[in-house]
Structure 1
């Protein structure tokens, strides 16, 4: 794992992902397995469930699978503003799981976005990322002093149009009106074949996760 500055606007193909992920103490298999777990668990949802159930189950099971696997390597859970994250042992890397739109892991030239507008927890994380990247560019010591992690996004997409789930681990740098519009670095993950699933059970669109704040009412 490393805290070395990352190049801006960099892109890593799925073939080159192992070396890039190794610098973060990660590997493609762990990330892809987590995403696939979410999709498969969501297949238990029926038409009798609430309309938001499939997306929530897929997202939450992906989060759980990622946390469970990384906990064996010393990563720990964090829930700032009730937004689930997994934090690296050195505290410099944080990962959040988000459902992406159809542009997820398509090509270097196609910029992905989230399936739905994000809330304040994501906004705060992206804003912090952007400030820290500026600090790195101008060689300010803020990152060393504050010890705030860079928050990466495990972005995934699965729909009725494809028998695969696509995903990437990317570092968001800008968010406008709840939509992530710029990424500092994108690491593509190998697409996972899910052709064994019943096509009739595939979602009608990209799977959405949630981003909310729980507050006590007086």
Structure 2
């Protein structure tokens, strides 16, 4: 009986056509978002036990951000945006931005409420407040008017307030020799003590499955010799 109840709480994923239409409204595509997750998983698998703790997760995050930006800049005309400490990509009209976030086991399940897996800071809190239509103080807003370099954008105070920020939220599960990544594209709307506790719009996505996980044993043969010139 308990198993049946648990299954009934998990809604089926939307049909691809429904997903496609919702994503078009944001300005993205399902194939882009799955490619972002695939890039992160591929980067994660380059880490080995002798790497520093957290290397796999950092590499996955960095690869996801890079792929998210490259795909949308090249194909949709978006631009890089550094918003506080958030590494995002921003639509050309500066109304929508996207980033990546690791969620919990409720990620991608339409009738459950996911949370971010790790506590996040003031930058996520501020974009959540903007999503909810809450205006931050001038001092708080000033923290987010940041330049992202020659190919990036800087937002005005009004643009910062109007910006709607989405996150590609993902949850990774190892299943035998394969990996399943549940995912959704969602807007955080309420933030408490470092965690998103309520979402505005959510678009649950079909999960991504990847096979071929190879065991990682060591850093490879031989030693690394770094020449140092003492002067």
Which runs of at least 4 in structure 1 moved beyond 6 Å after TM superposition?
Answer: none
- Measured against aligned partners, the alpha-carbon deviations of 1:93-144 in whole angstroms (never above 9, x if no partner) come to 0111111111111x221111111011111111101111269xxxxxxxxxxx
Secondary structure at 1:163's aligned position in 2?
Answer: strand
Task: Give the alignment of 1:14-53 within 5 angstroms.
Answer: 15=16, 16-53=18-55
Q: How does 1:45-84 map to 2 (within 5 A)?
A: 45-72=47-74, 73-84=76-87
| 1:190 to 2:175 alignment | no
Matched, 1:154 2:168: yes
Q: CA deviation at 1:14?
A: 5.1
Q: Secondary structure at the match of 1:36?
A: helix
Residue correspondence of structure 1 range 1-218 to structure 2 within 5 A: 13=14, 15=16, 16-72=18-74, 73-105=76-108, 107-131=109-133, 146-147=158-159, 148-161=162-175, 163-198=179-214, 200=215
What does the per-residue CA deviation read over 1:161-193, in whole Å, with 9 as the maximum and x for residues that have no partner? 473111110011001000000011111222111
CA drift of 1:197 comes to 2.0
* CA RMSD of superposed structures (Å): 2.1
Q: Which runs of 5+ in 2 are unaligned?
A: 1-12, 136-156, 217-231
Higher relative contact order (CA 8 A, sep 6+): 1
Normalising by the residue count of structure 2, what TM-score does the alignment of the two structures yield?
Answer: 0.72
Higher Rg of the two aligned structures:
2
Number of positions where the alignment pairs a residue of Structure 1 with one of Structure 2: 178
Q: Partners in 2 of 1:40 and 1:159 — Cα distance?
A: 15
Q: Is the 8 A contact 1:36 1:165 kept in 2?
A: no
Whether the 8 Å contact between 2:110 and 2:204 is mirrored in structure 1 is no
5+ residue gaps in structure 1?
1-11, 134-144, 202-218
CA 124–14 in structure 1, closer or farther in 2 if over 3 Å, else same? farther
